Amino acid sequence: MLEKRVATVTGAGRGMGEAIARALAAKGASVVVSDVDEVAARKVAADISKDGGKAIGLRVDVSREAEANALADLAVSEFGQLDIHVNNAGISTTKLFVDTTKEDMERILGVNLIGAFLCAKAAVEKMLPNSYGRVINIASLSGQRGGIGRSAYGVSKAGLELLTKVMSVELAAKGILVNNVAPGAIATQMAIEQHDSNTREAYHFLIPQRRYGTPEEVANVVAFLASADASHVSGATFNVDGGFLSAGLMFEKEGVEGMAPPKSKTEKGISQNA
Ligand SMILES: NC(=O)c1ccc[n+]([C@@H]2O[C@H](COP(=O)([O-])OP(=O)(O)OC[C@H]3O[C@@H](n4cnc5c(N)ncnc54)[C@H](O)[C@@H]3O)[C@@H](O)[C@H]2O)c1
């Protein structure tokens, strides 16, 4: 259903970006798999090609304008056009506000917000002449709620969510739809590195579905937004968070199974089944 479409995905060497690249390729899109880790990008592209998909790998540091432009250029030179761009590359830190430095702010915003802006701008330039395009930004629940340690990361993702809205308003009439996917807690390397046992316990307590999501569950929503089925969806945010944002008071209701949050303080792994 994405046959004849060409996509670029950033941060696609592992985690959610890899799952997104694979999902788009599985639906028939030709994909430029990009990552600051060139070896990882090329490996994912080679794996997709081995499975019968069309993909090429490229090293792209999204925070460098020339590399962001090179990504969009390669889509056109290799596959003839650019229809879908996914801003997935992101870096994270968990530091209290009082400990957060100017360098932390600049580093995180430079990749998560300015990097996404640069790549989207380069992509949209290729889309405008065709009056067709889809830009999907991967933000975060951390950009919607004030979580501890999230002053830099949360602000970068809140900015990305607003950038989505502004872009969607300016570009919808030109055939370019821009939407935002906001994952909650997803079992990837980033979460393994950033979430200590207290964080994991807190997530299991606060997510009504009582588990982390998988990269594939995020990729499925991205693939929908990239598809013709989402032809009247613009400026929206799709949370993929197991109900986290909607949750209010959660307590045990006697005799009603499944309504109780976990009782024990036992360590639970990060696996989506935990
Ligand atoms: N894992 C979660 O729980 C979670 C939750 C909400 C949002 N997110 C967001 O989802 C996206 C993917 O996260 P993930 O969990 O798969 O992370 P991850 O760390 O597993 O993968 C991120 C990828 O981005 C690449 N990358 C880092 N800096 C880059 C740069 N400057 N240019 C290009 N590529 C770069 C890395 O090399 C890596 O391959 C990120 O934007 C992240 O902020 C993650």
- Write the pLDDT tens digit of every residue in 216-258: 999 999 999 999 999 999 999 999 999 999 999 887 777 776 6
Task: Quick: pLDDT tens for 75-90.
Answer: 999 999 999 999 999 9
Residue pair 60/71 in contact by the 8 Å Cβ criterion: yes
Q: For residue 47, is it within any domain?
A: yes
Band (pLDDT 50/70/90 cuts) for residue 274 is very low
Segment 115-134 shows an average pLDDT of: 98
Instruction: Please provide the average confidence, as pLDDT, over all residues in the chain.
Output: 94
The C-alpha atoms of residue 14 and residue 215 are separated, in whole angstroms, by 10
Q: For residue 186, is it within any domain?
A: yes
The C-alpha atoms of residue 244 and residue 203 are separated, in whole angstroms, by 9
Q: For residue 248, is it within any domain?
A: no
Per-state percent for the chain, helix, strand, coil, to nearest 5: 45, 15, 35
Which helix (H) or strand (E) segment holds residue 191: the answer is helix 189-194
From residue 203, give the alpha-carbon distance in Å to each of 45, 219, 243, 252. 33, 21, 11, 17
User: 132, 153, 203, 212: which is the annotated catalytic residue?
Assistant: 153
Segment 126-132 shows an average pLDDT of: 98
Query: Does ligand 1 lie within 6 Å of residue 160's CB atom?
Result: no
**Stronger pLDDT, 254 or 205, i.e. the higher one:** 205
Q: For residue 102, is it within any domain?
A: yes
Query: What's the domain range around 223?
Result: 6-192+212-240
Look at residue 273 in the predicted model and tell me its pLDDT: 44
Segment 100-114 shows an average pLDDT of: 98
Residue pair 125/72 in contact by the 8 Å Cβ criterion: yes
Residue pair 41/117 in contact by the 8 Å Cβ criterion: no
The C-alpha atoms of residue 85 and residue 234 are separated, in whole angstroms, by 14
Query: Does ligand 1 lie within 6 Å of residue 241's CB atom?
Result: no
In CATH, what number is assigned to the domain containing residue 102? 3.40.50.720
Query: Does ligand 1 lie within 6 Å of residue 92's CB atom?
Result: yes
Q: For residue 161, is it within any domain?
A: yes
Look at residue 194 in the predicted model and tell me its pLDDT: 86
Which residue, judged by its Cα, is nearest atom 42 of ligand 1? 90
Query: Does ligand 1 lie within 6 Å of residue 143's CB atom?
Result: no
Is residue 272 scored above 60 in pLDDT? no
**How close is the Cα of 256 to the center of ligand 1, in Å?**
38
Query: Does ligand 1 lie within 6 Å of residue 242's CB atom?
Result: no
Look at residue 269 in the predicted model and tell me its pLDDT: 59
Q: For residue 20, is it within any domain?
A: yes
Is residue 263 scored above 80 in pLDDT? no
Q: For residue 122, is it within any domain?
A: yes
**How close is the Cα of 86 to the center of ligand 1, in Å?**
12
Count the neighbouring beta carbons within 10 Å of the beta carbon of residue 196. 10
Look at residue 25 in the predicted model and tell me its pLDDT: 98
**How close is the Cα of 264 to the center of ligand 1, in Å?**
31
**How close is the Cα of 17 to the center of ligand 1, in Å?**
7
Segment 148-155 shows an average pLDDT of: 97
132 in active site = no
Segment 164-183 shows an average pLDDT of: 98
Q: For residue 34, is it within any domain?
A: yes
Look at residue 268 in the predicted model and tell me its pLDDT: 52
Task: Quick: pLDDT tens for 9-41.
Answer: 999 999 999 999 999 999 999 999 999 999 999
The C-alpha atoms of residue 69 and residue 129 are separated, in whole angstroms, by 16
Q: How many domains does the chain contain in total?
A: 1
Look at residue 206 in the predicted model and tell me its pLDDT: 93
The C-alpha atoms of residue 74 and residue 53 are separated, in whole angstroms, by 17
